[in-house]
């Protein structure tokens, strides 16, 4: 028997195989999206068609786990039908909640499916009590996914003043600290992370050897140049290495992953309800490894034991082969 949950473990599934891997490895909850522009990971080969979503929810429910459906991009003017249809389908298939960002979609879900839990996506970038109260009072949200800009102390102060559950990121890729408001990729590729659900589409990505270096490009824009001893990251615009004042540096974000396993007791004390693992673009093997490791950590902490040493093995599969606590332990203001 699993010990009482220390924190709810919310895990990614970009494919049916990843959903099975997450559930089998010990996820309490899995989040996934439909195979269209309504979710923020709209990449070829990922996500669920209607049959797969229905079957995935049934698979999780048969094992006592929950499924959240991400409908967390923003409709274009005059074209809300795909988003409303996604909410309807999630409700019909028995999803445990929908993860929403757009005010209009939130309004539709609250009126059309009042019994379906609504979680506020990190894409909404709600990071203060007034904003979160607005969504709770007007659309009945039950949970907010907090942006990755807050220290542990700020998370605790915010939770103390809000009346909904808090979900925070614990492992995976870090984006620019402008959740739901990034347009860099759309200027380069013409496809928007916020409306099309895709940042740095793979068809625009290339890597080329140039002399002693590996050069990455997004479309015609060079994003980085790597020496042979450096790990080459995926060329998202926010993680470009840019030359300013004659020096090359990462001005926005470095290619490094988040791993908050060492501060779970602090996040629990801050009032956090759920831990979110990022990675719907990653393989089922990655999902299984990360979920199993965090399951072991959470269960050990629930029993009052030390964090298992195996959690350190995750550093090798983090983005860039390096990890950080990011804003949780920020030393800047």
Render pLDDT for 105-152 as a digit per residue (tens, 0 to 9).
999 999 999 999 999 999 999 999 999 999 999 999 999 999 988 999
- Confidence check: pLDDT of 313 > 80: no
Distance CA 109, CA 113 (A): 5
pLDDT of residue 265 exceeding 90, the answer is: yes
Are residue 205 and residue 60 in the same domain, yes or no?
Answer: no
- Residues 103 and 155 grouped into a single domain: yes
Look at residue 188 and tell me if it is in a domain: no
CB distance 147 to 118 below 8 Å: no
CA atoms of 240 and 59, how far apart (whole Å): 40
Q: Are residues 161 and 243 in the same domain?
A: no
pLDDT confidence tier of residue 332, bands split at 50, 70 and 90: low
The answer to whether residue 2 sits within a structural domain is no
Structural domain of residue 78, as residue ranges?
8-174+256-329
Structural domain tally of the chain?
A: 2
- Counting every residue written for the chain, the total comes to 333
Selection from 325, 202, 328 nearest residue 257 by Cα: 325
Identify whether 216 is part of a domain: yes
- Residues 232 and 318 occupy one common structural domain: no
- 189 neighbors 182 (Cβ within 8 angstroms): no
What is the pLDDT at residue 3? 65
φ, ψ (nearest 5 deg) of residue 324: -150, 160
Question: Which pLDDT belongs to residue 176?
Answer: 59
Rg (Cα) of the chain, in Å, rounded? 20
- Give the C-alpha separation, 72 to 247, whole Å: 37
| Average pLDDT estimate for 250-274 | 91
At 173-214, the pLDDT tens digits run 887 556 777 788 889 999 888 888 888 888 999 999 999 999
Going by the DSSP 8-state scheme, the letter that residue 48 receives in this structure is: B
Residues 24 and 42 in one domain: yes
> 319 and 260 share a domain?
yes
Reduced to 3 states (helix: H, G, I; strand: E, B; else coil), residue 206 is strand
Q: Does 166 score more than 60 pLDDT? A: yes
Residues 57 and 87 occupy one common structural domain: yes
Q: Write the CA distances from 220 to 187, 196, 205, integer angstroms.
A: 12, 21, 9
- Residues 319 and 207 reside in one and the same domain: no
> Same domain for 162 and 45?
yes
Name, in order, each residue with C-beta under 8 angstroms of 187's C-beta and a sequence gap of 6 or more.
none
The token duo for 263 is 């501060």
For residue 47, give Cα distances in angstroms to 37, 70, 145.
11, 10, 21
Return the DSSP state at 231. P
| 190 within domain boundaries | no
Strand order, beta sheet including 221-226 = 205-210, 213-218, 221-226
- Residue 310 is predicted with a pLDDT of 59
On the question of pLDDT at 160 being above 80, the answer is yes
Tell whether the model's pLDDT for residue 75 goes beyond 80: yes
Q: Are 70 and 121 in contact (CB under 8 A)?
A: yes
Half-sphere exposure of 133 (CA within 13 A, CB side): 8
Are residues 235 and 164 part of one domain? Answer: no
Check whether 66 has a pLDDT greater than 60. yes
d(CA 286, CA 18): 9
271, part of any domain: yes
Q: How far is CA 315 from the centre of its chain?
A: 18
CB distance 222 to 133 below 8 Å: no
Is the CB of residue 158 less than 8 Å from the CB of residue 145? no
DSSP string spanning 194-221? TTTS-SS-GGGEEEEEETTEEEEEETTE
Q: How much is the average pLDDT of 233-255?
A: 87
DSSP designation for 113 = -
Name the pLDDT band for 224 (thresholds 50, 70, 90): very high
Name, in order, each residue with C-beta under 8 angstroms of 121's C-beta and a sequence gap of 6 or more: 40, 70, 72, 99, 100, 101, 145, 180
Regarding whether 68 and 95 lie in a shared domain, the answer is: yes
The pTM of this model reads 0.93
Q: Which letter does DSSP use for residue 54 in this model?
A: H
Q: What percentage of the chain carries pLDDT values higher than 70? A: 95
Question: Residue 181: inside a domain, yes or no?
Answer: no
What pLDDT score does 321 carry?
Answer: 76
Tell me the average pLDDT of the chain: 91
Look at residues 135, 110, 123, 113 and name the one whose alpha carbon lies nearest to residue 38. 123
> Is there a domain that residue 195 lies in?
no
């Amino acid at each position: 028997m699993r010990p009482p949950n220390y924190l709810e473990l919310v895990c990614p599934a970009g494919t049916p195989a990843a959903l099975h891997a997450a559930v089998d490895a010990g996820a309490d909850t899995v989040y996934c999206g439909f195979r269209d522009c309504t979710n923020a990971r709209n990449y070829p080969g990922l996500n669920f068609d209607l049959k797969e979503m229905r079957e995935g929810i049934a698979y999780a429910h048969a094992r006592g786990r929950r499924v959240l459906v991400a409908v967390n991009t923003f409709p274009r003017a005059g074209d809300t039908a795909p988003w409303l249809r996604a909410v309807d389908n999630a409700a019909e298939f028995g999803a445990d909640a929908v993860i929403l960002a757009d005010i209009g979609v939130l309004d539709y879900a609250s009126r059309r499916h009042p019994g379906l839990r609504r979680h506020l996506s990190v894409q909404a970038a709600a990071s203060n009590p007034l904003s979160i109260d607005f969504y709770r009072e007007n659309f009945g949200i039950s949970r907010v996914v907090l942006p990755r800009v807050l220290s542990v102390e700020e998370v605790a102060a915010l939770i103390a003043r809000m009346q909904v559950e808090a979900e925070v990121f614990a492992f995976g890729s870090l984006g620019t600290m402008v959740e739901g408001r990034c347009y860099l990729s759309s200027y380069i590729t013409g496809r928007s992370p916020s409306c099309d659900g895709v940042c740095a589409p793979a068809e625009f990505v290339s890597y080329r050897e140039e002399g002693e270096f590996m050069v990455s490009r997004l479309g015609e824009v060079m994003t980085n140049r790597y020496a042979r001893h450096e790990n080459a990251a995926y060329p998202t615009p926010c993680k470009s290495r840019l030359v300013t004042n004659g020096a090359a540096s990462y001005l926005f974000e470095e290619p490094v992953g988040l791993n908050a396993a060492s501060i779970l007791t602090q996040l629990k004390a801050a009032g956090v309800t759920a831990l979110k693992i990022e990675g719907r673009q990653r393989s089922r093997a990655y999902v299984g490894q990360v979920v199993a490791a965090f399951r072991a950590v959470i269960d050990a902490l629930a029993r009052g034991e030390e964090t298992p040493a195996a959690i350190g093995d995750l550093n090798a599969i983090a983005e860039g082969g390096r990890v950080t606590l990011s804003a949780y332990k920020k030393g800047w203001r």
